[in-house]
């Protein structure tokens, strides 16, 4: 039976894979408005061969929005503005990471029960999320998604 990770297990998964996939994640976030924590959760789910419907992914997106809009985005914007203040910038980075953990807790609390992917014809989770987010899978995002998948696959098999 598929089981969701604990918040600590998911955080550790993110810490392990984030450094190698930071660039495509941040590009999807900054250029297309995607939520990095939701992308990471969907990558985790794909790695586990789980499937969620578009409606379930939309609910996950809605679950992460309050923490993202109230905490993470304002802290990130302020941190990015303070390029000449390294001490304050470092403190804000720690605050941003704490806000990211709040987002992850909200996501895991809202997570639907994992269902095994039964068919190759079922849509991929990342593409469903990007579509729901109004991004669609254009050439730029398609390349980024492939890069994410390949890196996660090599981490999990390495």
Distance CA 47, CA 43 (A): 6
Distance CA 63, CA 65 (A): 6
Strands 115-116 and 50-51: antiparallel
Distance CA 66, CA 153 (A): 31
pLDDT digits (tens, 9 = 90+) for 37-49: 999 999 999 988 8
Distance CA 84, CA 90 (A): 11
pLDDT digits (tens, 9 = 90+) for 52-80: 999 999 999 999 999 999 999 999 999 99
Distance CA 11, CA 18 (A): 10
Q: Is the pTM of this model over 0.95?
A: no
pLDDT digits (tens, 9 = 90+) for 76-114: 999 999 878 889 999 999 999 999 999 999 999 999 988
Residue 97: DSSP 8-state:
H
Domain boundaries, the chain: 7-157
pLDDT digits (tens, 9 = 90+) for 127-148: 889 888 777 655 567 778 888 8
Quickly list DSSP for 57-70: HHHHHHHHHHHIII
Give pLDDT, residue 133. Answer: 72
**Beta bridge partners of residue 115, listed in sequence order:** 51
């Amino acid at each position: 039976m598929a089981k969701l990770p604990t918040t600590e297990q998911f955080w550790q998964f993110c810490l392990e894979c984030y450094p190698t996939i930071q660039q495509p994640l941040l590009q999807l976030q900054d250029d297309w408005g995607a939520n990095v924590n939701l992308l990471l959760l969907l990558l985790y789910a794909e790695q586990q061969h789980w499937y969620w419907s578009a409606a379930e992914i939309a609910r996950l997106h809605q679950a992460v929005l309050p923490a993202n809009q109230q905490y993470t985005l304002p802290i990130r914007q302020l941190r990015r503005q303070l390029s000449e203040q390294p001490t304050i910038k470092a403190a804000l980075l720690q605050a941003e990471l704490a806000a990211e953990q709040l987002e992850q807790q909200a996501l895991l609390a809202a997570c639907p029960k994992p269902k095994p992917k039964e068919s190759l014809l079922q849509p991929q989770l990342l593409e469903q999320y990007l579509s729901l987010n109004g991004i669609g899978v254009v050439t730029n995002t398609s390349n980024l998604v492939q890069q994410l998948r390949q890196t996660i696959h090599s981490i999990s098999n390495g």
